Amino acid sequence: MLPRGPRGPREIHQAAPMPPEPPSSRVDEGTPLEVAVVQVLAENHLTLATAESCTGGLLASLITDVPGASAVFSHGFVTYANTAKIGLLGVTKEVLESHGAVSEPVACQMADGALRVSGAHLAVAITGIAGPTGGSPDKPVGTAWIALADLHTGSRAFRVFLPLARPAFKHAVCQAALNALLTLLKNR
């Protein structure tokens, strides 16, 4: 289950998300999140696709750095431009115009699109503002939405706020996405 507050997705304000409890007895404490994700996906015979905007493929890169990832990783979409979100993932122009690219509905449509196009069991989508420019009072630099889509339960998203330098932001957002994915797998 994703972190939620009383009125919807909960914001996470931390520089380095803490790893979850191990989702399986075979995942050792201290195992890098991407290694644990690949391991648990393989144990459960599940496949994963990613759809990334602000992280520019970093999440897919972290996952594919793990030996054995080819058995569980099917697709990695880098949809930095809105036209790519629309053309590759089916994000609607109306949702982009009414909510902006960095929003819960866009993150969910990205994850749903990655799931649909790839045929994977699970998908993770990330959209955000890495900075140093591009932020607004409503969506400051360091804001990101992470969505998970599952064939059985649909998609859901949560917001993180990680006001870090661009490279550190990208890495921290990927760690938050991996952490959420492990939590989902644990509770599946």
The number of domains in the chain is 1
Tokens matching residue 161: 């706020």
In a domain, 112, yes or no: yes
pLDDT, position 134: 94
pLDDT, position 28: 72
Angle at 96 between CA 85 and CA 131, to 5 degrees: 80
Angle at 77 between CA 93 and CA 30, to 5 degrees: 125
In a domain, 135, yes or no: yes
Average pLDDT over residues 179-186: 95
In a domain, 24, yes or no: no
CA separation for the pair 83, 93 (Å, rounded): 9
Residue tagged 């591009």 (tokens): 134
CB 84 within 8 A of CB 96: no
Tokens matching residue 146: 């992470």
In a domain, 6, yes or no: no
CATH number of the domain bearing residue 165: 3.90.950.20
CB 10 within 8 A of CB 158: yes
In a domain, 167, yes or no: yes
Containing domain of residue 98, as a range? Answer: 31-186
Q: pTM to 2 decimals?
A: 0.86
pLDDT, position 188: 81
Q: Is residue 26 very low, low, confident or very high in pLDDT (cuts 50, 70, 90)?
A: low
Helix (H, G, I), strand (E, B) or coil at 119: coil
pLDDT, position 27: 63
pLDDT tens digits, 94-148: 999 999 999 999 999 999 999 999 999 999 999 999 999 999 999 999 999 999 9
**pLDDT at 91 > cutoff 90:** yes
**pLDDT at 1 > cutoff 50:** no
pLDDT, position 120: 98
In a domain, 156, yes or no: yes
